[in-house]
Chains A and B, each alone.
Chain A
Amino acid sequence: MMLLRAFNAPRVLITVMGNDLLCPVIRCQPGVYKPGCFPLFTSPKFTAPENRQEPPASKDAKPIKKKGRAGNAIANPFSVFSAGAAKRRYELNQKRAGETTGIKDNVSKKDTISVPSKPLSAEEWKILKEELNMIQQFEDKMMAHIITSNGDINVAKSLLVFVAKENGIEYKLLVKYLALCVHQNQTSEIYDVYEIMKAKFKTLETGAYSLFIKGFSQSDRWEESLTMLETMKKTIIPSRKNYSDCILGALNKKKGNIAWDLYHEMLESNLVPSLDTLKAFFDTGKAMKDGMFKRELLKVLLYMRDNQIYPDEAFMQSIKSWFESIPGEDWKGCVSAVENSGRCQRCRQSLESIHLNQEEYDNLKDVILNDVIQGTDTFRKTTPEELRQFQKFVGSRPPYDIVIDGLNVAGICGRGCRSQILLDIVSHLAQQNLRLLMLGRKHMLKASGSWWRSHMAVIQQKADCFFTENISEDDPFLLYATLNSGNHCKFITRDLLRDHKACLPDTQTQRLFFKWQRGHQLVLPFYTPGKQVMFQPILNYDTIVQTTADTWHIPYDMDNVERASYEVPRKWLCLQRQDSMV
């Protein structure tokens, strides 16, 4: 039994596969398993960093009953949708391919220009210009180099003196100089440049405005950055960076109202605020003890929930310390992980289920049928005839437990007879008395080296099969059949289904789809013919910012893990009110 726990199987999986089946597998490769990591990536090289990331969690966490390896393994199952999975696959792939990575250093551009270390006089600049033999754009290039090397501002000034004497300073060069000033926070210089530009040019363009906004917002004249933002709005929607700078400026001066107004305005024009902006609100929130600020901050958290925005580590710390600073409410926050059962390790509370509610489910089903399968033109993915046939086929049978993407499953291991692999997996599932539907294409029925007729005949006995035309797409059918069978039905494919997700009309539906996918997709990461079939666990809790009356659970991104867009974080911030605990 202990071995079973070590394997870290979720309940769903156990119901699917039966407990007794797991033991022999684990006995096969006893040494390989590392806690907290799925067997797919078991080579020591890849598991080691994973374990190193664990300590902060276990330091804070209460020592829950640990029994050797088994206890630790409960948290953090590693599925395809966990943060960092794509990166690992990539690395593994690189390693397997035997390619040497990291020889990416770009051929250094011919770096002929070296920035002078101290200011030069006009004559010296002239000589330098002639030496470099670069008559055109000498000033621009030199200024760009000063910016990139973060050079002395006096050097830039002396360059400007030279250019002013020579042929007059152009707008381009002024903006570059401004960028340097803003970068080095030379407030008085920014003011001067502003005066000059305002007098010399009737209007400015977005680049200069952005720089001025950035420069002014941190200074005493921060209110002028707001007027500049207004000016920009006349012609173009300001970027989120512009808003962010203004908000930071307002927050610096403790003008909460203005900052929140800007924030709401930004959301209205469909800009997604950066994490830094949100973090600044929480940081300021610690000093602001009014009710409005608190309400708004809680709204920010709900906004993050609705849009699946996950904080990074620094931001998580800000959220935590803000909660802990709320007077009168004794919040306690700590870093935690979530068990496969969906309980937070820290507070033992169950998280939200991954399952969609009925309304969402029906909605998703309609959208999949209308947008993914039919789309604007049914002929692009299938034919109306075939679709009708399929709907009739699915409708005439009782709901399935598992829908299998035949072609995808059969291609799991590069060698081996495809129909044999498919047969193995189908018969493995059939043993558990599951109702199966296998989707494939018609060419599978044609006997060939990789598709044996005898195998296919057995498969058709054990599972219902539907074969689409060779030029039709089978994935949309897979999605529809699964959705049609109801909430308990799972599907098997290794495909990440990103192209189908992209067909969905809006981001909200895409998120719904992704949530459903995480809850219903069984992934068979690898398979060796003749060996035991093992699926990756399905997590039955949703990774999303969530709250109950006296807790908040906020998933966050670790700094040293790269998360792809189709993955979710694995670490959590658990916040709870102490008074209610006691």
Chain B
Amino acid sequence: MRFLNIVLKKTVTFTVFQSVIPKGTRKCLFLGIPHKPPPCRTLLLSLGMRKEDAHPLPTEKLNLDEWKNIMKSSLPEEASDEILEREGDWDSSLTAIRELVEMWRLAGKAVPESISEEQLKVLMELPTKSSRRKYLKHLAIKERFKNAKKAKKEKLKAERNDTLERPVAAEEQRAPRNSFFLTFWQRSIDNLHLWRAAQSMLFGQPLVFDMVYDKVMSRREMENTVNQLLETEGWNRKSPDPFHIHFCSLHADGPYHEELLKRYGEAWDKLLLTATEKAHVDLFPKGKLVYLTADSPNVMKMYEHDKIYIIGSLVDKSQQTGLSLANAKRLNLATARLPLEKFLHWETGAKNLTLDQMIRILLTLKDTGDWQQALAFVPKRKHEGFIDIQKKMELERKRKMYQFGSRTKNIDKPSAGSLTKGSKQKRWWEED
């Protein structure tokens, strides 16, 4: 029977091959051929193979369910693969959720390819579906970055290897250069920075990071905060005249401390800054402290070199307004916010900036006292450029003159005009 099949198949394919060559004229004739032998699988297959040039054929003859057969025939090996993959002695719920994550990945959702047991446990503890989805997405993005970085590194390494191998001959020929310095290594630069930092520890202006917000932050927010603190410290160290940084109310073994230790490792004990469990009000005279917060009613006019500025180390993704202002109010401290509206055409985004942006602004202010230069560190996406201060003042003066002249007529104009969006009238349902 099998032999017969093969023979049949060969003859049929042969006839097909033959009949394809003379197009057009013999087409109709040829159409009848496949029907002649008793219907069997091979015949149908061969029909499918030559469908392309058989446009006039009615479409019903396409074997639409063929994919099912293909899927079924390829079952055994794939299934066994799956089972092999999943061996191991996990407890059942973790395995189940791991499988679910794997299936989500197959379904094209944003989940990481590999997920550790620790991450799985975190995932299990999350209460809602959306929080789980977000966490998985976060892990997926993180993984993607990691992989991209790895790939880049490998590429660079390969390139370096290439260059190292090639110019061996050239290097031998190169004469010793007459140079004033030995190669200027990063170590020397680090030393310079450390000297400056040490000096600032003795004579520098204090800058306080208030670490009392551990209770109001989620795990992710805490990680982000410490990230920003690391960057902050870096910018400070590299500046010509660094601040003397104080981490106040930093409790040993608290969440901040734990995370900082995790990130800095051994370097934590060698950092040239003051970390203390004491609060800022215990360290410094109250009159000199200024709490920087975007909710403050007072706008900072100029940078004062004898004041001690406090920045709340807080990443606030859940928009808990007035947190740091409440802290300042409780301790009866002076508060201030950056004059963002005065200098920038604010476009979008919250007015609270990240910690590293804050310190760069403050460092620039300290060095130059120039607001324009300092506020260049405000992210560009948040504003539409700087306000022309000169022009604005001129306009203001003109308006004042006009108002003075027509004061008797419209006594209420100034109030409406002095609002930034005076032209847009408030409707009654708009909240104050």
A119-B64, A161-B66 given; A124·B297 CB < 8 A: no
Contact status A414-B425, CB under 8 Å: yes
Residue of A nearest to B55 (CB): A124
Q: How far is the CB of A506 from chain B (nearest CB, A)?
A: 16
Instruction: Determine whether the beta carbon of A207 is less than 8 Å from that of B107.
Output: yes
| A234-242, A320-328, A423-431 - the one binding chain B | A234-242
**Interface-located stretch among B74-82, B173-181, B369-377:** B74-82
Known A123-B52, A201-B103; contact A417-B70, beta-carbon cutoff 8 A: no
> What is the CA–CA distance of A383 and B327 in the complex, to the nearest angstrom?
11
For the complex, is B3 an interface residue (Cβ under 8 Å from A)? no
Q: Determine if A203 and B103 form an interchain contact, defined as CB atoms under 8 angstroms apart.
A: yes
B361 to chain A, nearest CB (A): 24
Bound complex: CA of A119 vs CA of B337, how far in Å? 66
- Are A235 and B97 within 8 A (Cβ)? yes
Docked pose: A351 CA to B402 CA in angstroms: 60
The segment from A166-174, A335-343, A392-400, A570-578 that touches chain B is: A166-174
Interface segment among B232-240, B249-257, B382-390, B411-419: the answer is B411-419
Given contacts A121-B62, A380-B323, contact A201 B107 (CB under 8 A): no
Contact partner of A411 (CB less than 8 A), chosen from B75, B297, B326, B426, is B426
Residues of B within 8 A of A157 (CB): 64-65, 67
Complex CA distance for A171 and B103, rounded to whole angstroms:
8
Binary contact readout A446-459 vs B (1 if CB under 8 angstroms, 0 otherwise)? 00111000000000
B75 contacts across to A, CB distance below 8 A:
199-200
| Cβ-defined contact, B326 with A377, below 8 A | yes
A449 touches B411 (CB 8 A): yes
CB contact list, A313-367 vs B, under 8 A? none
Indicate which residue in A199, A236, A380, A381 contacts B79 across the interface (CB closer than 8 Å). Answer: A199
Residues of B316-372 contacting chain A, CB below 8 A: 321-323, 325-327, 329-330
- Quick one: closest B residue to A157, CB to CB? B64
Candidate in A121, A199, A383, A417 with the most chain B CB atoms within 10 angstroms = A121
Of the residues B65, B96, B106, contact of A170 by C-beta under 8 Å: B106
Is A471 touching B297 in the complex (CB atoms < 8 A)? yes
Select B100's contact among A161, A163, A206, A418, beta carbons within 8 Å.
A206
Q: Does B10 contact A (CB under 8 A)?
A: no
Residues of A near B82 (CB, < 8 A) are: 201-202
Contact B432 A495 (CB under 8 A): yes
In the bound complex, do residue B330 and residue A379 qualify as a contact, i.e. CB atoms below 8 Å apart?
yes
**Closest Cβ of chain A: how far from B91's Cβ, in Å?**
13
Complex Cα distance, B327 from A80, in Å, reads: 37
Interface size class for chain A?
35 or more
Task: Known contacts A200-B75, A379-B330; decide if A407 and B432 are in contact (CB<8 Å).
Answer: yes
Within 8 A of B (CB), among A514-541: 524-526
Q: Is the interface of A mostly helix, strand, loop or mixed?
A: loop
- Shortest C-beta distance, A391 to chain B (Å), equals 19
State in angstroms the CA–CA spacing of A80 and B108 once bound together.
46
Closest chain A CB from B300 CB (angstroms): 16
* Beta-carbon contact of B100 and A203 below 8 Å: yes
A200 and B100 CA atoms in complex are apart in Å by 15
Q: Are B326 and A379 in contact (CB under 8 A)?
A: yes
How far apart are B85's CB and chain A's nearest CB, in angstroms? 9
Residue B307 at the chain A interface, CB threshold 8 Å: no
**Quick check: A205 and B415 within 8 Å, CB to CB?**
no
Residue of A239, A408, A414, A524 with highest tally of chain B CB at under 10 A: A414
Residues from chain A with Cβ under 8 Å of B184 in the complex = none
| Chain A nearest Cβ from B100, distance in angstroms | 5
Determine if A383 and B329 form an interchain contact, defined as CB atoms under 8 angstroms apart: yes
A196 & B71 in contact (Cβ 8 Å cutoff): yes
Tell me, rounded to whole Å, the shortest Cβ–Cβ distance linking B299 to chain A.
14
Report chain B residues within 8 Å CB of A164: 66-67, 70-71
B427–A93 touching, CB < 8 Å: yes
Q: Tell whether A496 is near chain B: CB-to-CB under 8 Å.
A: yes
Residue of B nearest to A175 (CB): B107
Which residue in A124, A163, A169, A172 is a CB contact (below 8 Å) of B107? A172
Contacts of B321 in A (CB 8 A): 380
B218 sits at the interface (CB 8 A): no
* B416 with A414: CB separation less than 8 A: yes
Contacts of B270 in A (CB 8 A): none
B48, A121: Cβ atoms under 8 Å?
A: yes
B129 within 8 A of A: yes
CA distance A295 to B19 in the complex (A): 76
- B56-96 residues with Cβ-Cβ distance < 8 A to A are 59, 62-68, 70-72, 74-75, 78-79, 82-83, 86, 93, 96
B72/A199 in contact, CB under 8 A:
yes
Report A176-232 residues with CB < 8 Å from chain B CB: 192, 196, 199-208
Expressed in whole angstroms, the Cα–Cα distance for A368 and B109 within the complex equals 43
A412 contacts the other chain (Cβ, under 8 Å)? Answer: yes
Determine if B70 and A165 form an interchain contact, defined as CB atoms under 8 angstroms apart.
Answer: yes
Contacting residues of chain B (284-325) with chain A, CB-CB under 8 angstroms:
297, 321-323, 325
Which chain B residues border A412 with CB–CB below 8 Å?
428
- A416 within 8 Å of B (CB atoms): yes
Task: Tell me, yes or no, whether B104 is within 8 Å of chain A by CB.
Answer: yes
* A415 vs B425: C-alpha distance when bound (angstroms): 8
Distance of A170 Cα from B105 Cα, bound (Å): 11
B431 in contact (CB, < 8 A): yes
**Inter-chain contacts of A377 with B (CB < 8 A):** 323, 326
Q: Are A380 and B326 in contact (CB under 8 A)?
A: yes
B99 within 8 A of A: yes
Contacting pair A161 B106 (CB below 8 A): no
CB<8 Å pairs between A and B, sample of 17: A93-B427, A119-B64, A122-B48, A154-B59, A158-B64, A165-B70, A201-B82, A201-B103, A202-B83, A203-B103, A204-B103, A205-B104, A379-B325, A380-B321, A450-B415, A471-B325, A526-B428
3 closest A-B pairs by CB: A205-B103, A379-B326, A121-B51
Interface residues of chain A, those whose CB is within 8 Å of chain B, are 80, 89, 93, 118-119, 121-124, 140, 154, 157-158, 160-161, 163-165, 168-172, 175, 192, 196, 199-208, 234-237, 239, 377, 379-381, 383, 407-408, 411-412, 414-418, 448-450, 470-471, 494-496, 499, 524-526
Given A140-B108, A495-B432, 19 other A-B contacts at CB below 8 A?
A121-B52, A122-B51, A124-B51, A154-B62, A160-B67, A164-B71, A203-B99, A203-B100, A205-B104, A208-B103, A239-B129, A377-B326, A380-B325, A380-B326, A414-B416, A417-B412, A449-B412, A496-B431, A526-B428
